[in-house]
Structure formats: C-alpha cells, structure tokens
Structure 1
Amino acid sequence: MDASDDTGATAPGAGTPEPPAPRRTKKLVNAPDEVVADALRGLAAAHPRLRVDPRARLVVRTDAPVAGKVGLVSGGGTGHEPLHSGFVGPGMLDAACPGAVFTSPVPHQMVEATRAVDGGAGVLHVVKNYTGDVLNFRMAAELAEEEGLSVRQVVVDDDVAVSDSTFTAGRRGTGATLFVEKIAGALAERRAPLDAVADVARRVNDASRSFGVALTACTTPERGVPTFELGPDEIEVGVGIHGEPGRERRALAPARELVETAVEAVLAELPDPVDGPVMALLNGMGGTPLLELYVAYGDLVEALELRGVPVVRSLVGNYVTSLDMAGFSVTLCRADEEMLRLWDAPVETAALRWGR
C-alpha cells in the first residue's frame, strides 16, 4: 500500500511529508527573475530597428547617436509598458533604461545610455518622481558630467492624488511622462539646443496633472499574489502606478462617477486658464479592455465639455500601466501652440507612431 492516499496526504507514520511545491505565477513568464531579459529579447525580435541589450537592460534607437541632436534618455521599473522602452525611436526617446519590476534602473545603465545617445549637443534625462529614480539619475548625471558630457534633468511630478507617498517626496510621476517625452523629443529632433529642450519638457510637466483609479490590484511575477487587497465592491481612488495607496478606498460606482472624481481632482490643480484647451490621455492600467476605456473617455469628454474645457488632442489606451491592474488614469495638459505643433510632429516608436 502507498504511503499516501489519492489526495496526496501523507499517511500516519510514513515519515516527514514532502515540502509543498513552489507557487507558480499564473502569468506568461518562464522564470520570474528572468522576465525583464525575456521581455527585452521579445522586444528586439518584434522591433529590429531598435538596439536592445537584454543583459545590460538598454533600449537604444538604431541611429543613435545622432550628430548635433540632443539625446533623450528615460527609464524606470519594468511593469509600466509601453513606458519607457516602447517610446524609443525618432521623435521621442533616444534610449530607455528598464529596471527590474517596479524597481529603478541603476546608475551605470543610465550612464551607458547617456554615452550611447550623446551626439555632441548634450543629453536630457526625463525622470519620474520616485525616490530611487531621482537619486540614481542624479548620480548618473554626475558621473556622465565627469566624463565631459553635458546633461540636464527634468523630473515629472504630475499625480495630484497625494502630495507625498511611500516612494516620493512630492507628487508622483505618471501619465504626463508620455507628454513630456513626446513633445521634448520632437523639439530635439529639430536640433534645438539642450536648454531649450529641457525648458519645453519642464513647461509640459508644469502644465500637466493626473489622477488614477484602481478596480483591482496588480500582481508582480515574483510574488504571484496581488500587491494589495480590495473587496469585491471596493476600489482605490488616487492609486499610484506601483499600487501605492491613494486618497481613499470607496465603493465601486459607475464609470461616469469615477471619471467625474478624476476630472475634479485634476482640474483643481491644473494651471489656469480654467477653461483653456487641453490634451487628454485616458490611460489604461494594463488590465482594462478598450471597450471600458472608451466608455470612460466618452464620460471624460462630456465632463470637460460641461465645464467649457475643449479637448484638442487625445490618446486612449494602455500607455503608462501597472502590470495587470484594472483601472484607469486621466492626464490633462494645458497645451500652448508650440506644444501642439510638437505633439503633431512625426514619431516612430514601437508604441506610438504617426506622421511618417
């Protein structure tokens, strides 16, 4: 007779039971500790016009460095795709440094990326306002400058949900990062000088505000379980892109009410004029289908029209995500005529392309 029955339980007196099998993450991964390298190999295969180094964790546009052009470098923890690697290419970033999941890249990645894109006109670092990102990019800039490279940095801090959080001092950097990278990237493509590119990046950040809502938590490949708990009828209002807590936890409500909450929060902190035109990003967090995102975008436009705020440019989709989190974020930018012209300029990246 076997020492165990058909349930797998060990019979009395059969000795020490076998340890439980390790938890397997129900995700399309081979090994959690290899997920970043594996994803970068896939990115390289899908987009051969990018120079991708899965081990060094660098994504560089094929023609970099471009002589006489300001180079743009950004980066952050993996898990926010297509930010940042999906935005590398003509008209946007010159290089991206992906870190481990929800973890800042390290300074040597950033220095190597800076070297790779320096075409003699200097390099701009676009940094989301998270403590690790800010400290590591600052160190990288100092090391690059010791090598004789000219570097400027712009910190993106658009999330109005909280003024300070576990990961930041001040507002978190979220959806406005896309606006900053696209508009500054377009100006750099026109061979504008480094200070002018940094200036427009700061103006875009200053003119942008964001707010997010989570319907579910996300699950990292390493943990295999949700990063926080929400009841079946609970949502997190003002959530961060790493699952950081927001303003409050409340009961689920119709899309129109959730969008209204986001609009009120963003407009309360958006620079004047109150009724000026805006660029709008209705962003998915990674686990929300487009069907629902378009529902939310219709409600967003309606809410803004009722307030006399015209939407002059828009994007709907998953652009600044949080792995598989269900939910959305709203980013509005008070765009002036120069910003709109730069937004409309050609761009050719894995995740964003038009005008070519």
Structure 2
Amino acid sequence: MATSEEPFRPHRVAVLAMDGLLPFELGIPHRIFGRPRDRLGRRLYEVVTCSIRPPGPVRTDSDFDVMVTNGPETLATADTVIVPASYEFGPVYEDGVLTPELAAALAHIRPGTRLASICTGVYVLAAAGYLDGRPATTHWADAERLQRLFPQIAVDPNVLYVDDGDVLTSAGVAAGIDLCLHMLRRDHGSAVANAVARRTVVPPHREGGQAQYIRRPVPEPQLATTTTARAWALGRLHEPIQLRDMAEQESMSVRTFTRRFREEVGISPGQWLTQQRVEHARHLLESTDLSVDQIARDAGFGTAQSMRQHLQAALGVTPTSYRRTFRTGSGITG
C-alpha cells in the first residue's frame, strides 16, 4: 500500500499460462484482483497474463487456444506470480523436474515476489524448490502423488489453501477463488474481499476443507444435517456455546453430531466456531469504533486477551495492529 511520499502503483499480479491450462482457473485471478479500487477509483491491482515462451497462442484443455501477448520477461515485473493448473506438465508432473524452458521462465522472478498456485500448479512451485521444507496443498486426488514426488514438502490434502507467508497454494479448481479472496483479504481487509465476493456471487469465506468433497462409502442415509445448528450458533456468537448445545439443535447425540459436522464441513465444531468468531471480530475491527474489549465480548471471546491470542494465531497480528491497517479500508468495487 503506497504512502503519501510514494507515487501510487497498483500491485502487479502475473498469471503464468502454460499449455494445457484450464481456462476457468486462468480467469480466477483476473476476476478477483481485477475488481477492487481505492476511494479515488484507482485499481488496487494490475493483472497480466504471460507465457513461458514469446507471445503467441497457448493451448488449453478445451477446444480453443488463448492468445497471450506477454512473454516470460513479464515475471520480472510482478509483485505476485500465480501458477494455475495445466494438464501438460510433462516432466514436471511425471518426474518432478522442470523443463529447461520453464526453468528459464521462472528465473525471471525476483527474490521476495509472492508466489501462489492453483490446484496442480503446485507442481511447478515444488519442482522449482520454492516449497522445500514448507507446508502446501493441492487437489485431494493429487496429494499422494505430490507427496511421493516431493517428500520434503508437508502436504496437507484436507485444506482449501495453505498460506505460508510469501508462498501460498490451493486445492482444486474453485479453491483458487478461496485463495485469491484470502490474498485480497490479507492485503486490504475483509470489507474489500467481501465486496468482491458479493459481486462474484461466491461466499467470502468457505467453511471447512477438502475433506468434505472426498467421496467415501456411506453406510447409512445422510438425511440429517448440521445446517440448523450452524445458523443457530452464528446468531449467538456473543454467548458461550457448548458442543452439546449445538447437537441439541439437531436432536443428535454429541458423538453423532460431531461426526456429521466433520463430514459436512471438514473441520470440528470447535474449529468452525473459532473461525466464525475470528471473522466476526475482523468485521467489527474494520467497520466499527467499538473498543477491543467490547469486540471481544461481542465475538464470543470473552476477554481482549483471549481474542488477541486467537487473532495472533489466525492472522499473525494483534487486534490493534489489524484495526490500524484495515479500519480505513480504501477499497471499493467498480
């Protein structure tokens, strides 16, 4: 974010298009980062597409090509580089080795550039060594292969995305939307990310992880859900909520409710409740002048110290620092 002494410059996002790319994934960064503007109407991001070779057509997995007018040298100008999935990885996907052409393209990336992948685009970051010793994720169906090819990576197949600071990875296809919204939220706060999500007609924050999408044998009809309990809890975040209270809303035993909740949401009820309270606290910190103590009570943390610990764990910042950064959120959508 530019200061008053610096000329304004939008954050530059370069999207790397490779043969066999999925058009849907290629368009995600443009849709999410192409919307937000500041109060003066200036775009907060500049999104450009580039190829690993000189300008020209790039094959997709569909019945059309994409004409890309920027070559690999564009990567040298990027603040963030995003690698969508491609179905023509060749040695990268099969053996975990970069092709000379791809290695030469990635060499343009400046140190300190934020890197992100969507779905199996993670193989490119892994083969380039960017994920060594780091946590990462990919589509659940590819997680085992990724771990086998790159044992030095801590692969988590159950989450929608992994934020490891300057390197971020996401699960399959639509999880790229979750990742880009997360980066937008990290850069400019919840209000800006939520506004873009509304315009895109997607939830600003999806609950749970990939576990809920993995097909498993179901020994009994899954007729009951935990939807009512979640809605009930969201209306009472300021109150103490026990697991048995949520289970009672569905007329289930605690054991059955916990199992069903994990199947539907992908995380435990306690983890979900903490996520919702953190999100509510973020919203109040950004949009109100309430004291930190009052926000802690309204979000259900009870004390400012408890909220501070949870925000520090989830966001890496204190409530005061978060409010200082995002209280005057400058983004609007055009």
Shorter chain as normaliser: what TM range? Answer: 0.3 to 0.5
Give 1 or 2: higher helix fraction.
Answer: 2
Give 1 or 2: higher strand fraction.
Answer: 1
Greater RCO, 1 or 2 (C-alpha within 8 Å, sep 6+):
1
Give the structure-1-normalised TM-score: 0.31
